[in-house]
Homo-oligomer: A and B are copies of this chain.
Amino acid sequence: MARTFGDIAVNPPGTTYANRTALAAAGVHKPLQHGISGAAAEGADSIVVSGGYEDDEDYGALIVYTGAGGRDPTTGHQVSDQEFTAQNLALVKSEAEGMPVRVIRGSGGEPAFSPASGFRYDGLFRVEESWLERGQSGFIVCRYRMVQLADDGTPLPIPTTVPTGPAPRAKTTVQRIVRNTEISRRVKKLHNYACQICGARIEIVAGAYAEGAHIRPLGRPHDGPDVEANVLCLCPNDHVRFEFGALVIEDTLGIIDTAMGQKVGTLRTVVGHKIDVAHLKYHRERFDLTT
């Protein structure tokens, strides 16, 4: 039974459920007891936030969530350490891949954002950070900073009501956004997360990290297709070089360093991933129309 990431048909955000059985029957959150639905190799597809963990913080579009395990079933207090394994690791995999996580709030959660009774599906979030810390109990807990997504998959602004610590709120802008699609993930798996340009594989606790680069970009005005033949599996360094045209690929898959004007290697390929040379040409011409 395949795990579904993203919205579940006929269950839009705002849909309510009387209990965990109804939530599971709808396919919105399948486990009847676990707060996290997921597997380490695939990622986590949904979580329930219902006030079960004393360390959870819910600010609406920003949730600081706590992993599973180590709680006394009667009191709900943390009585032993958590680790990044099983479902806790699945949320790190979701972070590494940029996969959307369905968030369901239960009536036991933060009153300002939770339903008065039962459960409510509140839309898609992304895991922005994950780490360990000592919880209020003194035991180690897994923690996740989760931000709600707009319809186009980008994060919503952080609510200004979120309290800040001693440091003033820093004025940030976004230097780089790496987008992800189901097709990108498939291409990365085909290459086992090894960069098609340099062969590097970035090892992290959740397995490996790579980025899917659309050769002809998605969106206006390029309108590149989201198909495997238009995606490369790259390490972040070569993805930056490719996006800025420092590297382009010949029809014969030679890798050209455009500053040096010479071939520096050959694109690595795997059986089952065919690249459309028309997209390679589109990419080359974005940076040099004279050839």
Chain A residues within CB distance 8 Å of chain B: 6, 57, 59, 62, 64, 92, 96-100, 124, 126, 128-129, 131-134, 140, 143, 145, 149-155, 157-158, 160, 162-168, 170-184, 200, 202-206, 209, 211, 217-226, 235-237, 239-241, 243-246, 259, 285-290
Contacts and interface: CB of A to CB of B under 8 A. Distances in A.
Nearest to A180: B175
B172 A289 contact: no
10 contacts: A92-B244, A126-B173, A140-B289, A158-B220, A170-B225, A171-B226, A176-B176, A203-B259, A235-B236, A235-B237
Given A155-B154, A219-B158, A177 B177 contact: yes
Contact of A149 (B151, B173, B220, B223): B173
Contacts of A237: 200, 202, 235-237
Contact of A98 (B154, B176, B211, B287): B176
A203 B154 contact: no
A179 B70 CA distance: 34
B167 A223 contact: yes
A183 B167 CA distance: 14
| Residue among A167, A174, A217, A226 having the largest count of chain B Cβ atoms under 10 Å | A174
Contact of A173 (B98, B165, B171, B220): B98
A235 B221 CA distance: 29
A205 B133 CA distance: 42
A156 to B, nearest CB: 8
A205 B246 contact: yes
Contact of A174 (B140, B177, B259): B177
A223 B164 contact: yes
A263 to B, nearest CB: 17
Nearest to A141: B289
Contacts of A288: 132
Contact of A153 (B172, B178, B286): B172
B241 A202 contact: yes
Nearest to A260: B203
B162 A218 contact: no
A92 B244 CA distance: 9
A291 to B, nearest CB: 12
B203 A246 contact: yes
